[in-house]
Structure 1
């Protein structure tokens, strides 16, 4: 089974613009990518980075600048797993549950309705990452005569997209991305009765 990790190499992590400078976003996004690839590697599988542009990475990289849906659909001619590059809490145990789950279509949903990781074993399935893709992928699976298997996993549900997600990474992360946050001076803080992050001046 091929395992692809889509990665937006141009202008990564734009929704973190309020927390990071552009060069910091690029460094942080690469740290997340490597954490995800390392976790996949620890399951005994080799990830391939599916990037929109060239990227410095110790893992194989395939450049495809099409939209995510088109780039992934072009690779569904054999059993494939797709794991998003910003799953900063993912580890080998959670990924193994995904990879080994029974079903023609296996989905690890993200918070907010996205599809954070996916295994496709049915030749007629196609992805659609627009909007609430979990709902769409369930519908597409039913349309080809199968039922999607859902993998309920906290570590695969949290994608690091917005500043509030950084709290989860600082509390539960295990790799480069969390270390980078700590080295950059970020810490979990409680203000006005709410938990958030702060940065040392």
Structure 2
């Protein structure tokens, strides 16, 4: 099965701009991508990027928006897994859980209604990553009469988009993204019994 990892190399992770400058956003996004590629190492992943990027994997550059770029790849009819590049908690066992169901479409929902990973085995299915895409993808699969499976996984649900998401990387990650955050002063603080991300010299 072909495995694609879409990656916004041109201007990554803009919603992290409150805590990371532009250079840091690029560096941290590439660290998360490295973690995803490590988890997918047994499946020869291809990075589908909107600009050239230097990574340890083949890269296909497609400057079109995410939905259009992925649909162009799906149009080939080749069974394809699509995993987003901002899932630094994903491990190899979770990847196997994603591809295991014998369904036309397999989805891994994100916590905010997105679709963080997909397996597409039917050439009629197309993605639409706008809005609550997990809901739209369910509807699209059912409209085509396709079999559908959902993989319930914290590792796949925890995409890192907002500053508040960074604490999950420190609490649960052990790869390049967690290492990057700690090296740049990222720490876990507890406030009112909840863990939060902060910058500092010591971890509470």
- Same fold per superposition (TM over 0.5): yes
Equivalent position of 2:149 in the other structure: 149
Structure 2 portions without partners, runs of 5+: none
Equivalent position of 1:52 in the other structure: 50
Equivalent position of 1:2 in the other structure: 2
Equivalent position of 2:34 in the other structure: 34
TM-aligned CA deviation for residue 99 of structure 1: 1.1
Equivalent position of 1:111 in the other structure: 111
Equivalent position of 1:92 in the other structure: 92
Equivalent position of 1:72 in the other structure: 70
TM-aligned CA deviation for residue 112 of structure 1: 1.0
Equivalent position of 1:21 in the other structure: 21
Matches within 5 A, 1:111-130: 111-130=111-130
In 1: Cα distance, 2:34 partner to 2:135 partner: 29
TM-aligned CA deviation for residue 194 of structure 1: 3.5
Matches within 5 A, 1:178-197: 178-197=178-197
Aligned CA RMSD, in angstroms, stands at 1.0
TM-aligned CA deviation for residue 195 of structure 1: 2.1
In 1: Cα distance, 2:141 partner to 2:47 partner: 25
Question: Which portions of structure 1, spanning 4 or more consecutive aligned residues, are displaced by more than 6 angstroms?
Answer: none
TM-aligned CA deviation for residue 11 of structure 1: 1.2
In 2: Cα distance, 1:174 partner to 1:3 partner: 23
In 2: Cα distance, 1:2 partner to 1:94 partner: 17
In 1: Cα distance, 2:160 partner to 2:102 partner: 27
Tell me if the contact between 1:138 and 1:147 (Cα under 8 Å) persists in the aligned partners. Answer: no
Residues 18-67 of structure 1 deviation map (CA, whole Å, 9 limit, x = unaligned): 111111110000000011011001xx210100000000111000000101
TM-score computed with the length of structure 1 as normaliser = 0.96
In 2: Cα distance, 1:157 partner to 1:112 partner: 9
In 1: Cα distance, 2:103 partner to 2:193 partner: 44
In 1: Cα distance, 2:44 partner to 2:186 partner: 32
In 1: Cα distance, 2:103 partner to 2:192 partner: 46
Structure 1 portions without partners, runs of 5+: none
